[in-house]
């Protein structure tokens, strides 16, 4: 509302005062929208364990994925000790579910080279909105929203909460190449980004992994560590994708898009850049790391993924 009123007030200002007033309003608006993510959270570790267990248990859209882990390897090893693929079941029926379909529609929207600035068509931007709309129709995201509202960490207005999700996940930022706005938390986490030395950063989506496996572009080298969470399987592994590499990364096989978004959002609010302990539906405790990046004064998700050692 204040932004709409500002032009009327500016009619009586000098050009210099107009500029100062506009900048001041924008700074205040950004600061107000982002203040909650920058302050300490009231959410306890016990509450994190309880709500995350409920989110896992309530993930009715999660896929049943059969893995063939084959041989164990080590972080950074590019030796192929797993001759077969890691996913040996067919999840295509699950991929037809609304949130999976909305997720898949986003995957071809991004430049993977961090030296190239992303540009988007109106249709691609609409796909981001459609994804947020789809996940907010699920009980997982509705449960998360209810919890955050109860803790004073989110607006009860669903439209405001959707805007918050859109900002932290799809807001664009520059980190790897100065002046090149090439990244978002959703892109970094669910697709990947390739640095100039041909190494990969990000890449935590088992759905994207499956697509690349089927296309013959992902070579499974073996697993480092695994954890059964009851409904999903967390696996860490080194990566060989298109010949680009990463020493290790982590995936939550079987998780729906809304479960992964919910866990990342929960930890963005409760423990940004800190150990965020969560629980699977079977009570197995592990960490979910939500790293952040601040760009032009706004805090965004940088990456969001599981890790293994709980810090209780």
Question: Which residues are the active-site residues?
Answer: 188, 204, 246
Query: Quick one: which of 257, 263, 245 has its CA closest to 305?
Result: 263
- Cα 100 from chain centre: 14
Cβ-proximal residues to 79 (8 Å cutoff; 6+ apart), any chain? 73, 221, 222
C-alpha R_g of the chain: 20
Rounded Cα–Cα distance for residues 159 and 162 (Å) = 5
Distant-in-sequence, close-in-space partners of 50: CB < 8 Å, separation ≥ 6: 279
Residue 259 CB contacts under 8 Å (≥ 6 apart), including other chains: 55, 56, 59, 62, 140, 232, 252
């Amino acid at each position: 509302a204040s932004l709409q009123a500002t032009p009327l007030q500016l009619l009586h200002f000098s050009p210099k005062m107009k500029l100062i007033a506009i900048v001041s309003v924008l700074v205040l608006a950004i600061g107000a929208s982002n203040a909650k993510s920058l302050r300490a959270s009231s959410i306890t570790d016990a509450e994190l364990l309880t709500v995350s267990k409920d989110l896992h248990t309530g993930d009715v859209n999660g896929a049943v994925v059969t893995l063939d882990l084959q041989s164990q390897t080590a972080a950074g090893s590019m030796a192929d000790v797993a001759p077969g693929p890691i996913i040996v079941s067919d999840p295509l029926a699950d991929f037809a579910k609304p949130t999976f379909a909305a997720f898949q529609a986003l995957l071809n929207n991004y430049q993977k080279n961090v030296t190239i600035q992303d540009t988007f068509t109106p249709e691609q931007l609409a796909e981001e909105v459609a994804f947020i709309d789809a996940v907010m129709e699920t009980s997982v995201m509705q449960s998360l929203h209810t919890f955050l509202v109860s803790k004073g960490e989110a607006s009860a207005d669903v439209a405001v909460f959707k805007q918050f999700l859109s900002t932290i996940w799809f807001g664009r930022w520059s980190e790897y190449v100065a002046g090149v706005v090439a990244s978002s938390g959703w892109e970094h986490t669910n697709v990947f980004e390739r640095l100039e030395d041909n190494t990969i950063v990000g890449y935590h989506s088992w759905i994207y992994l499956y697509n690349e496996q089927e296309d013959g572009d992902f070579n499974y080298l073996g697993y480092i560590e695994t954890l059964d969470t009851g409904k999903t399987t967390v696996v860490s592994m080194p990566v060989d994708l298109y010949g680009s590499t990463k020493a290790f990364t982590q995936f939550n096989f079987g998780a729906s898009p809304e479960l992964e978004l919910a866990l990342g959002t929960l930890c963005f609010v409760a423990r940004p850049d800190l150990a965020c302990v969560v629980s699977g539906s079977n009570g197995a405790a592990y960490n979910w790391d939500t790293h952040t990046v601040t760009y032009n004064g706004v805090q965004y998700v940088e990456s969001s993924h599981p890790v293994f050692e709980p810090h209780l």
